Amino acid sequence: MDLPSALEAEGNTVCVVGAGGKKSTLYALADGLERALVTATVRIPPFTEQVADLRVTTDPNTALEETTDWPLGLVADREEDRCHGYDLAEIDALASNAADTSVLVKADGARTRWFKAPGDHEPQLPTTADVVVPIASAKIVGKRLDEEYVHRPERVAAITGLEHGDRISAPAVAAVLTSDRGGWKGVPHSATVIPLLNMVDTPALEATAREIAAEIRERRPGARVVLTSLLADEPVVAVV
């Protein structure tokens, strides 16, 4: 299965949250779709290389209507090393105007860590989100709960019961990804949630990811979990 099919991205508004592969997921999806718009409701590094056209505009709907080059990137403003996305109402308007276009949205930040739980102001999810993808790196299992690999470790601790410095287990990753204070936080009632475990780059990491996925399905029966190695030519390792 290809990544757009695994994440139900075709023609939908897909929002990525969590840590360990949000931007890579957006860009891989955009590369696999005929018409994709990449944007954000938070800060995002410039991504000129990942789209056919990155436009800085306060009128994203007009830019969408005028474009002929896909995938399209839209941001509200750009500084040297970061761009700013749009407020939620603007993303909702974009999604309503997008018709046959997949709208791909970065909806929180993680400061390049592999695992996180959201802060009070996160995630920034539009009401039009069709699919929400909470992401974690399979490589986080066995790492210590601290700032080196985890964004907001105190939030992870509050969900999992772990102490600062404890080793992170597969059940702990699943607990965060499935929590209403974690991967399910703020998800619109009509949206589908599809957890994604990234950096599944070896057979050992696939075994770890499958353990996390089994724990996710225990907590959220019927959930579909996507395992990826996003730097590979075939990024979908498995769908479980």
CATH of the domain at 169: 3.40.50
pLDDT at site 181: 98
> How buried is 194 (Cβ within 10 angstroms: 0-12 exposed, 13-18 middle, 19+ buried)?
buried
Say if pTM beats, i.e. exceeds, 0.85. yes
pLDDT at site 226: 99
pLDDT in 10s for each residue of the chain, 240 residues: 999 999 999 999 999 999 999 999 999 999 999 999 999 999 999 999 999 999 999 999 999 999 999 999 999 999 989 999 999 999 999 999 998 999 999 999 999 999 999 999 999 999 999 999 999 999 999 999 999 999 999 999 999 999 999 999 999 999 999 999 999 999 999 999 999 999 999 999 999 999 999 999 999 999 999 999 999 999 999 999
What is the number of residues in the chain?
240
pLDDT at site 203: 98
Which two three-digit tokens encode residue 126? 């539009």
CA gap 170, 214 in Å, rounded: 9
Domain limits for position 210:
3-239
Is the distance from CB of 14 to CB of 7 less than 8 angstroms? yes
Q: CA torsion sign, 25 to 26 to 30 to 36?
A: positive
Number of domains, the chain: 1
pLDDT at site 80: 86
pLDDT at site 47: 98
Nearest-Å Rg of the Cα atoms of the chain is 17
